[in-house]
Structure 1
Amino acid sequence: MRSIRAAAAVVITISTLAGATACGGGSDSSGGGSNASPKTLTYWASNQGPNIPADKKILTPELKKFEQQTGIKVNLEVVPWADLLKRVLAATTSGQGPDVLNIGNTWSASLQATGALLPWNKANFDAIGGRDRFVEAAVASAGAAKQDPAAVPLYSLSYALYYNKKMFADAGIAKPPATWDELIADGRKISKNGTSGKWGLGAEGGNLSENIHQAFVLSKQHGADFFDASGKPTFTSPGAVAAVKQYVDLMGKDKIIAPGNAEYSQNQSLSDFSKGKTAMVLWQAAASTFASQGMKPEDWGAAPAPVVSGAPGQGKNVNSMVAGINMAVFKNTKNTKGALKFVKFMTSDDEQKILNKAYGAVPPVTAAQADPAFNVPGVKVLKDTLTTSAAPLPQVASESQFETTVGTAIKELWADAAAGKTITTASVKDKLTKAQQQMTQ
């Protein structure tokens, strides 16, 4: 688990730095680079697979392929999500970081505001084949509006509801729930008020990003948001408070989530699902994890995440945030040319098919989406959600601090629910008030 206070402190520090540097050395930001014949790159990859060894197994052959094509060796480090934001933020101020890295697309505007990342202007996009190769919605989630993006889309994701077919059949449930009321009713049939030894739904209360993603979607369904049009926090609006309460009530009031989930932070809910301990889980892309833990494709199904009523769509029927992983380059890398070559390789049509198949994600490169692998049921639901019913998290400079402060507030509420404390509108508003007070203006 990352140090929340340390991460928050770094966010506060960097939010005022317009020209922070990283990686030492010097190069222009137009793609020219400073070394004539670079031979190495350091790459921080986010943990996308079921574990770090799985990521290394997927990525290492591809990096070898890049080395064979270009003569550039890539030194890979797979960074756990619990540590990634803290390490990236520290790198933007210390100058000790990689040449190329993965970032969650929700952090793009925050990291863009530091000035530490290479801006993806027309020249840099042209160096990797052009901006028009990418789905525009994915590019739009790579930085603040009216600015050159801070990163390039690598994997596109959205949320789906995964369900265990056998557990549903055993409980007499004929189809996956489409609304929250249906999900709660189905979850209660399985959990039986916590007496069955199994649980209806899994969650990760210690995973700050996961907390934010679900609370954001629920806020949209309540007709609210966590920031106004000017970027000012509105954490205590009635809709935002109701959204957080609804999420935590799934454990405290509805009793379909195991109390131990309050401490989960790194794919533990997926492990419980794979072992038949929980019947449902809301997740971005889970097929590779299920397979690694012994589940067969026919053991589980995927459906759109729940809405209040009706079918998923825009407006109040948003059922996912626009999720995804972007590749960024530190502006002060000594190997800009090599970094651009590497991004071009990783976002090439062929590599997009290989990597997104491996992770069960959707390619943000349009041409790669035509592959039949991205139209199988487990992936198609993600693609359809991205197209029809997903909304981007606020592209504001304080987004990463929002994840830290509000994500922690929700984590604390999960802990209260797990301890048997009643979660009230007042107690939720109190936590969110404190979170809002911690935000820098």
Structure 2
Amino acid sequence: MRTNRVFAATALVAALGLTVAACGGGSDSKGSGDISASPGSLKGQTITYWASNQGTSLANDKQVLTPELKKFTQQTGIKVNLEVVGWADLLNRILAATTSGQGPDVLNIGNTWSASLQATGALMPWDANAFATVGGKGRFSAAALASAGAAGKDPAALPLYSMAYGLYYNKKEFADAGIAQPPTTWAELVADGKKLTKDGHYGLAVEGANGAENIHHAFVLAKQHGADWFDASGKPTFTGAGNVAAVKQYVDFIASDKIAAKGDAEYVQNQTITDFATGKAAMMMWQSAATSIKSHGMSQDQYGVVPVPTQTAGATGDAGVTSMVAGINVAVFNSTKHKAAAVQLAKFLTSTPEQKILNGTYGTIPPVTEAQSDPAFQTPDLKALAGVLSKSAAPMPQVANEAQFENLVGPAIKSLFADAAAGKAVTDDTVKAALQKAQSQMPTS
């Protein structure tokens, strides 16, 4: 999912135990809970759609989505009230809607929230009958579906936009430093980063105050260290040696390696992309950043994208994981009064033509496999990221308390980055203490 969101998952602890109230964008008498209703019978209904911020601004998203939703209305007669919601507010808005009855019919969610929101009962399950209305489950990539809800349950949402992390590197800065190839291991990345760090420029940019970034990298590095953040029963295991090693390795980019600027500890609003695109940093680890990089004036031929490094060259299995399965899902509120109309909108947004248009505009990868062959998705960077999704990406923990994990561990890592920037020692003990504090605040059931 996009990484400029601020975590607002605390309310989820209470929401998990509540019954979802009725939601929906209106109360006209034509509403139907029968998702198989023909589009013609739904003409004249009005539904509300909460879209997440995918473009350069909320206004940009409205410019992108409005003509597409008008197209949907022309095809079906169903009107759509669009609201683009920023990441800082989206989760809290969703949680409030599950209890107040004042919510949308259709909404975007970060795919890492899927299992947590699924546990509230707020989202319509996509069973075999529901999937049949959108052309079948087989249209979607397996990796994207794996981040649509808990294992063994019907998905809580449909994949809409897919993303993956890659290592972006500045070709000219690498050449000027005499570095022939981008790094494939972390030892190589640190060595290259030190060569590239001079005269106010740094080898790597990180987003140290961005909770999402922190969680995503801690997840990947923990996998590489042979660790998970939850055991098989869903119990948190934050203080395990592999998790401690993962967090310390990430914070050390500022603390001991000194290849990222101390000021990066305060980055929270995509300043990493700005630093990379303007030449202040030679590398960054980011998800599907082409559109944002271009907005800063950097052309695609000036940078390359390769998989994020691993601990050892050629690592496979969990040791070879280089990204979480990133992306945005589209969901239908389970208690909407306009379920059939809502499903029609989900069908439209995940149709092959719309997948090409929307993912092409946002620089993301279509989770609908038929759309991936379009030339728009054959650029070197997107091909590299698509390879990551298919070969070395793993879904974030699909457990009910995943959102609380993000809300607690992300800020814990932010505090460690702040310590590093202030010159305080970051040791295994201090990392473990921060993770222990986070774990102590996790729900017990």
TM-score, normalised relative to structure 2: 0.93
Q: Is the 8 A contact 1:18 1:113 kept in 2?
A: no
SS of residue matched to 2:216: helix
Matches within 5 A, 1:393-412: 393-412=396-415
Q: Specify the SS of the correspondent of 1:160.
A: strand
The question of 1:149 aligning with 2:149 is answered no
Partner of 2:83: 77
Could you say if the C-alpha distance between residues 58 and 284 of structure 1 is closer, same or farther in structure 2, counting changes exceeding 3 Å? same
Q: Which amino acid aligns with 2:363?
A: G
Q: Partners of 2:240 and 2:145 in 1: how far apart?
A: 30
Question: Which residue, 31, 35, 44 being the options, matches 1:31?
Answer: 35
Helix, strand or coil at the partner of 2:330: strand
How far is the alpha carbon of 1:63 from its aligned partner?
A: 1.6
> Cα distance, 1:85 vs. partner?
2.1
TM-aligned CA deviation for residue 206 of structure 1: 1.9
> Which stretch of structure 1 is more off in the superposition, 301-310 or 227-236?
301-310
SS in 1 for 2:341: helix
The equivalent residue for 1:167 is 173
Distance 1:102 1:66, change over 3 A: same
- The residue that corresponds to 1:11 in the other structure is 12
Matches within 5 A, 1:202-217: 202-217=205-220
- Measure, in 2, the Cα distance between the counterparts of 1:357 and 1:24: 29
Aligned residues: 435
Question: Contact 1:314/1:388 (CA < 8 Å) preserved in 2?
Answer: no
Q: Do residues 233 (structure 1) and 236 (structure 2) align? A: yes
Cα displacement (A) at 1:258: 1.4
- Give the letter aligned to residue 201 of structure 1: L
- Matched with 2:354 is 351
> 1:191, CA displacement in angstroms?
1.6
- Tell me the equivalent position of 1:180: 186
Which is worse superposed, 371-380 or 418-427?
A: 371-380
Instruction: Report how far residue 36 of structure 1 moved.
Output: 5.1
CA distance in 1, matches of 2:166, 2:5: 26
2:275 aligned to which of 272, 276, 280: 272
- 1-side partners of 2:154 and 2:33: how far apart? 12
Cα deviation per residue 1:167-214 (whole Å; 9 max; x = unaligned)?
22222222211111111111111223xxx2111111112221111110
Separation of aligned partners in 1, 2:25 and 2:68: 27
Q: Give the superposition deviation at 1:3.
A: 7.2
Shift in alpha-carbon separation, 1:110–1:80, aligned structure 2, 3 A = same
- Using the TM superposition, give the Cα deviation of residue 49 of structure 1 relative to its aligned residue in structure 2, in angstroms: 2.3
1:383-402 superposed Cα distances (whole Å, 9 cap, x missing partner): 11111111111110000000
CA–CA distance in 2 between the matches of 1:355 and 1:166?
Answer: 32
Give secondary structure in 2 for the equivalent of 1:199: coil
Q: CA deviation at 1:354?
A: 1.3
Q: CA deviation at 1:29?
A: 5.8
Rounded Cα–Cα distance in structure 2 between residues aligned with 1:89 and 1:377: 39
CA distance in 2, matches of 1:222, 1:107: 24
Structure 1 window deviating more from structure 2 (216-225 vs 289-298): it is: 289-298
Q: How far off is 1:91 after superposition?
A: 2.1
Give the whole-Å Cα distance in 2 for the aligned partners of 1:183 and 1:48: 29
1:291 paired residue among 281, 290, 294: 294
Structure 1 residues 398-418: Cα deviation after superposition (integer angstroms, max 9, x where no partner):
000000011111111111111
1:103 counterpart residue number: 109
For 1:359 and 1:9, the matched residues in 2 are separated by 30
**RMSD, aligned CA:** 2.0
Percent identity over the alignment is 60
Moved beyond 4 Å, runs of 4+: 1-4, 18-21, 24-30, 35-38
Corresponding position of 2:100? 94
Q: How far apart are residue 106 of structure 1 and its match?
A: 0.9
What do the CA deviations read for 1:251-304 (whole angstroms, capped 9, x no partner)? 111111112222222222111211111111111100011111211111111111
**Which blocks of at least 5 consecutive residues in structure 2 are unaligned?**
none
Aligned to 1:132: 138
1:64 equivalenced with 2:70 (yes/no) = yes
TM-score by length of 1: 0.94
CA distance in 1: counterparts of 2:174 and 2:142, whole angstroms: 38
